[in-house]
């Protein structure tokens, strides 16, 4: 009987152990997100509004966007109800416009995106609050609202003009990603042919001027050389608003270890992206193989698009795309912690700027599941609070403090168009 009772007790513990661990992880994650809700680094709702409704939002219901599926069957990833479910307390809204636009048109459209973002925030005063400073974020949180900040995605939005940069700041933009997918007259993109081996002289002055006025420098999308040049110049914390770790997934949009090792000296953070092709190496490889197969078929069957499509469908049937999961995203967080440290991690989903998030994080409701995964990996409540919000708060306060200490520095000046000739 004694042996039977011991065996029964052991079996009970074996069953209860994982359940208890799961319960503890859920408790830790929930406590962290209650104390420090997610401050997400990048969401493309403003661009979705341009593409879906032409920025006409007077009759647009942002409380619930589940009925916004278009011809591709995809509804928006974001609305107020789901932001609440996802424990999002502060959001950087991207006022992105296409980098392929002529720059004067890009400047105009960026202003239009700032306008639609402000109008969206103003329509929901009980849930959203415009935030221009770290103190504004704290005030919004205290009032139970989602702090709403704006960031530009790509230096094409300033049209080679520091004057435009300053005016975008006055309109409310509080970060700028130096490039998007196109290399500019002054900065190399990660996904375009380089021209400057990083930043040229004007590009470095863009960073200096952003530091001077208190606009955060965002290094997602820029080349590795441009990352290093920016860090050589920056005197305030930088951010990567939506990037992963290149050692974990080799996409050039991700941050290499050589840059991660420099973040502690700068105080900056990498806000880990949820985009599956950036976080899951097997999926990235599959996409490259599929592109290669499509190119091969187009070479074999020139002028026969139906044949190419049929043959590619056969390839798809026998070469299923790998899944991207929450665990993959957590692997990037692990790696950044191991190289740069826990103080240099944030979250930057990229929702409404991608087809879907990983399984379990398909939209903005998925953040709590990510934090349970991290708690299961041994992250403490203090660690999770740093990742969710406190590291971003510290970085923004650092940028604000540098600007406050730089009031004696005059604005950087260039003749109109002079940036094009800067070396």
Q: Which of 79, 103, 156, 180 is catalytic?
A: 180
Give yes or no: 153 in active site. yes
- Taken in order 51, 357, 278, 254, is the CA torsion positive or negative? positive
Give yes or no: 196 in active site. no
Cβ atoms of 355 and 74 within 8 Å: the answer is: yes
Rounded Cα distance, 167 and 213, in Å: 11
Q: Which of 77, 156, 196, 242 is catalytic?
A: 242
Rounded Cα distance, 379 and 245, in Å: 18
Q: Which of 40, 42, 156, 344 is catalytic?
A: 42
- Taken in order 327, 330, 331, 334, is the CA torsion positive or negative? negative
Give yes or no: 221 in active site. yes
Q: Which of 44, 224, 352, 385 is catalytic?
A: 44
Q: What does the block give as tokens for 231?
A: 């860090």
Q: Which of 79, 350, 373, 376 is catalytic?
A: 350
Q: What does the block give as tokens for 108?
A: 């105009």
Cβ atoms of 392 and 377 within 8 Å: the answer is: no
Q: Which of 77, 156, 221, 251 is catalytic?
A: 221
Q: Tokens 């520095």 appear where?
A: 409
Of residues 76, 93, 6, the one with CA closest to residue 42: 93
Q: Which of 40, 103, 153, 188 is catalytic?
A: 153
Rounded Cα distance, 364 and 295, in Å: 35
Q: What does the block give as tokens for 64?
A: 């619930």
Give yes or no: 286 in active site. no
Give yes or no: 352 in active site. no
Catalytic residues: 42, 44, 153, 180, 221, 242, 350
């Amino acid at each position: 009987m004694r042996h039977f009772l011991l065996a029964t007790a052991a079996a009970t513990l074996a069953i209860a152990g994982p359940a208890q661990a799961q319960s503890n992880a859920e408790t830790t994650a929930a406590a962290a997100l209650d104390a420090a809700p997610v401050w997400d680094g990048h969401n493309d709702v403003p661009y979705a509004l341009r593409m879906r409704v032409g920025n006409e939002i007077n009759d647009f219901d942002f409380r619930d966007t589940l009925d916004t599926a278009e011809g591709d069957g995809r509804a928006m990833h974001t609305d107020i109800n789901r932001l609440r479910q996802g424990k999002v307390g502060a959001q950087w809204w991207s006022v992105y416009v296409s980098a392929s636009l002529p720059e004067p048109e890009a400047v105009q459209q960026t202003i239009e995106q700032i306008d639609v973002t402000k109008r969206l925030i103003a329509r929901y005063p009980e849930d959203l609050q415009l935030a221009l400073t770290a103190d504004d974020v704290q005030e919004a949180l205290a009032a139970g609202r989602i702090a709403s900040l704006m960031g530009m995605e790509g230096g094409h939005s300033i049209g080679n003009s520091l004057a435009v940069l300053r005016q975008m700041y006055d309109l409310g933009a509080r970060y700028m990603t130096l490039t998007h997918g196109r290399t500019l007259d002054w900065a190399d993109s990660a996904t375009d042919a380089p021209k400057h081996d990083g930043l040229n002289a004007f590009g470095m002055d863009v960073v200096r001027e952003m530091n001077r006025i208190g606009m955060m420098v965002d290094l997602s999308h820029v080349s590795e050389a441009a990352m290093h040049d920016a860090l050589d110049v920056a005197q305030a914390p930088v951010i990567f608003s939506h990037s992963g770790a290149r050692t974990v997934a080799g996409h050039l949009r991700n941050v290499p270890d050589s840059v991660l090792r420099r973040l502690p000296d700068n105080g900056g953070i990498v806000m880990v992206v949820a985009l599956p092709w950036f976080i899951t190496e097997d999926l990235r490889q599959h996409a490259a193989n599929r592109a290669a197969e499509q190119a091969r078929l187009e070479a074999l069957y020139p002028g026969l698009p139906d044949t190419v499509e049929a043959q590619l469908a056969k390839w798809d049937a026998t070469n299923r795309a790998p899944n991207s999961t929450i665990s993959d995203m957590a692997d990037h967080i692990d790696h950044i912690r191991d190289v740069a440290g826990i103080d240099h991690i944030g979250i930057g989903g990229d929702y409404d700027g991608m087809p879907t998030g990983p399984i379990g994080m398909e939209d903005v409701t998925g953040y709590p599941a990510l934090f349970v995964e991290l708690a299961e990996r041994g992250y403490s409540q203090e660690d999770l609070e740093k990742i969710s919000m406190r590291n971003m708060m510290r970085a923004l306060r650092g940028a604000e403090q540098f600007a406050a200490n730089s009031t004696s520095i005059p604005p950087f000046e260039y003749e109109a168009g002079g940036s094009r000739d800067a070396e």
